[in-house]
Structure 1
Amino acid sequence: MQGIRFCATGAALPHTSISNEALSQRVDTSDEWIRSRTGITARRIAAEQENLTTLASAAGRLALERAGWDPKSLDLILLATSSPDDLFGSAPRVQAQLGASSAVAFDLTAACSGFLFALITASQYLRTGAMGRALVIGADQLSRWVDWNDRSTCVLFGDGAGAVAIEACGADQDGLLGFRMASDGRKADCLSLRQVASRQELIPGISSQLGGFEPIAMNGQEVYKFAVREVPAVLQELLKSTGTKPEALDWLLLHQANQRILNAVAERLGLPEAKVLSNLAHYGNTSAATIPVMLHEAVQAGLVKPGHLIASSGFGAGLSWGAALWRWSGPTP
């Protein structure tokens, strides 16, 4: 079995930012109400000329440039998204825009756990020697599936894309030290984006369902309780299984859903605030994009350096959650 090397990152965010104050012009809310409950002060929203494919492609292109890779050297593009431009898959369009003609490309849907699940999935192809290089992209455009008149959900979500380039290496240089994944479909209704229930008659006595989806629906209290219970538990299990003490971690990189969740998980692990990576205030919850965007910004800022040990966790709809422990080996800015 081969090892996994983390080589480079990329990110792409829409140019349009909507502050809490601006959002309060549409719904009955305020900057204080949103910040005190979530830690969010603004979110990015895709403009008319931007969509999931363009954002994902831009993030992937930057990761390839920083890795110094020819796009044709890629074997795999794995796009984690729950909001594709095409229900048949957006990854092949990303492959075409990148010019990665030798890569197989497909989507993986696991909502806010998507990037972590995609990273773990892609690493298995590399470990076996079946593939040598992979580009893992997390991207979502949830602004098109939000009810902008529902202040309980519309304040939370934003659009964006992040990417990480990984390649196979010798087992002695392995950067992916362990992982855990879990799902509990019994709680799926706590966070969902369901199909519409309307139907159309085809011929007398026979009807078919109309395509389309309802806005995002969430039981915020239940999702919060789930996250603060399961995320510390899966991280503690992972650290124990790898013989890693929490104090040995350089960084805690969680899905950016709610600042209170980030704080609660860090407290359970006994980690200081200085070791918790967070950009939630500026972007809101960008679903599958949060972890790779945060990683990219931390690398660019010189916070994450080669050799740093990172514990990461994704969690969300499904309900699904997981954790990974990796050592960063990519370039510095």
Structure 2
Amino acid sequence: MSFSPRHPIKASEGSPYSRIYGMSGYTPSRIVTNEEVCTWIESSDEWIRTRSGISTRHWATGEETVEYMSVEAAKLAIERSGVPVEEIGAIVVSTVGWFTQTPSLACVIAGDLGSKAAAYDISAACAGFSYAIAQGDALVRSGAAKYVLAIGVERLSDLTDKSDRSTAFIFGDGAGAAVIGPSDEPGIGPVVWGSDAEQGHLIQQVPHWPQAVDEGKRPVLVMDGNPVFKWAAFTVCHYAEQALAAAGLAPEELDVFVPHQANDRITQAMVRTLKLPESVLVSHNIANTGNASAASIPMAIEALYQDGRVHSGETCLIIGFGAGLVYSGQVIVLP
């Protein structure tokens, strides 16, 4: 289709590539053991570890709100990046745990940081951090922002039904952040992302907010675990393969693999499908933190940094998947 503007306009121009300048993760202070979970549901430490790989999960205290955790993660990522906060042109926050329609959590965080950046929230559940990285990459390369602050934060403990044996042991809380900016070399690979709304009923908030308000009850997350497991272990694996190929890497050229920490059996299935050699470091952070949705990937990367197991310049495949159903993955170069 031809396009001929009456008066030509200028377009924004950005960097040819982008990269991550600094990352961080925030892990809440309260540790919830499997033994404690077993006081809520009929289960055992062995059953939970066998089914999920989880030994403990971290839940936020009353003071560790989604705002507080986001700001703590953001401050550390900004400090590590060396980018002045006033140069950040956009803030993108992924969460399902901000229960205020307006203002957005991103705008609140901007105010806390003393920033006047463009700010908005997205809702992509467990794929949210990868979504935010993809949007940061696009904003930098389009010229819409020189630097972007991407945040994933959750307080899934607020949405956990402690009487539900199928989900009570799974969820955790936390936050993570990344500062994205211009680069002369590619530091963020092409994103492979999408959705499958036909299976959206497999992970839901119940009841929806209008009904919850009318009934005076707090909504909870419900999940049909078996089909979700099969989708993640057998379908999402191939999207991870596509993300690796889109970055132009063979499995043996990858340094680190950090999938969304949903279930360690899913992680193991992905490693097999991707045919990753033993030289690739794989995160199993779910053992300590549970499933923290949009925060799980940056929290896992932070743990690897803290343990001295990853280094600047290494290639890292990340992929998130979950409620929606949605998925998103790309290769990043660690800062």
Output the TM-score relative to the length of structure 1: 0.91
Amino acid aligned to 2:43: T
8 Å CA contact 1:119, 1:136 repeated in 2: yes
8 Å CA contact 2:244, 2:330 repeated in 1: no
Aligned partner of 1:97 among 112, 127, 150 = 112
Residue of structure 2 equivalent to 1:23 = 37
Amino acid aligned to 1:50: E
Shift of 1:169: 2.1
Aligned partners of 2:96, 2:331: CA distance in 1, in Å?
Answer: 24
Q: How many residues align?
A: 319
8 Å CA contact 2:19, 2:137 repeated in 1: no
User: Secondary structure of 2:32's match?
Assistant: strand
Evaluate the alpha carbon distance shift between residue 104 and residue 54 of structure 1 in structure 2; reply closer, same or farther with a 3 A threshold: same
User: Secondary structure of 2:83's match?
Assistant: coil
8 Å CA contact 1:231, 1:322 repeated in 2: no
Shift of 1:242: 3.6
1:45 corresponds to 2:50: no
1:190 corresponds to 2:202: yes
Aligned partners of 1:183, 1:51: CA distance in 2, in Å?
Answer: 29
Residue of structure 2 equivalent to 1:205 = none
Aligned partner of 2:267 among 258, 262, 271 = 262
Residue of structure 2 equivalent to 1:311 = 317
User: Secondary structure of 1:29's match?
Assistant: coil
Evaluate the alpha carbon distance shift between residue 276 and residue 15 of structure 1 in structure 2; reply closer, same or farther with a 3 A threshold: same
User: Secondary structure of 1:162's match?
Assistant: strand
8 Å CA contact 1:45, 1:159 repeated in 2: yes
8 Å CA contact 1:2, 1:129 repeated in 2: no
Shift of 1:198: 6.7
Residue of structure 2 equivalent to 1:280 = 286
Residue of structure 2 equivalent to 1:167 = 181
8 Å CA contact 1:195, 1:211 repeated in 2: no
User: Secondary structure of 2:61's match?
Assistant: coil
Q: Which ranges in structure 1 are unaligned for 5 or more consecutive residues?
A: 201-207
Shift of 1:24: 1.1
Evaluate the alpha carbon distance shift between residue 184 and residue 59 of structure 1 in structure 2; reply closer, same or farther with a 3 A threshold: same
Q: Deviations over 1:86-144 (max 9, x none)?
A: 232211111111222x3111111011011111110121110012211111110000111
Evaluate the alpha carbon distance shift between residue 199 and residue 46 of structure 1 in structure 2; reply closer, same or farther with a 3 A threshold: closer
8 Å CA contact 2:125, 2:294 repeated in 1: yes
Evaluate the alpha carbon distance shift between residue 224 and residue 105 of structure 1 in structure 2; reply closer, same or farther with a 3 A threshold: same
Amino acid aligned to 1:287: S
Aligned partners of 1:244, 1:272: CA distance in 2, in Å?
Answer: 13
8 Å CA contact 1:178, 1:326 repeated in 2: no
Bigger mean CA deviation after superposition, 268-277 or 283-292: 268-277
User: Secondary structure of 1:216's match?
Assistant: strand
1:321 corresponds to 2:335: no
Aligned partners of 1:179, 1:144: CA distance in 2, in Å?
Answer: 31
Bigger mean CA deviation after superposition, 235-244 or 184-193: 235-244
Aligned partners of 1:198, 1:305: CA distance in 2, in Å?
Answer: 47
Q: What is the RMSD of the two structures over their aligned residues, measured on CA atoms?
A: 2.0
User: Secondary structure of 1:307's match?
Assistant: coil
Residue of structure 2 equivalent to 1:239 = 244
8 Å CA contact 2:26, 2:175 repeated in 1: yes
Residue of structure 1 equivalent to 2:69 = 55
Aligned partners of 1:284, 1:105: CA distance in 2, in Å?
Answer: 29
Residue of structure 1 equivalent to 2:95 = 81
1:300 corresponds to 2:314: no
Output the TM-score relative to the length of structure 2: 0.90
8 Å CA contact 1:190, 1:218 repeated in 2: yes
Instruction: Give identity over the alignment, percent.
Output: 33
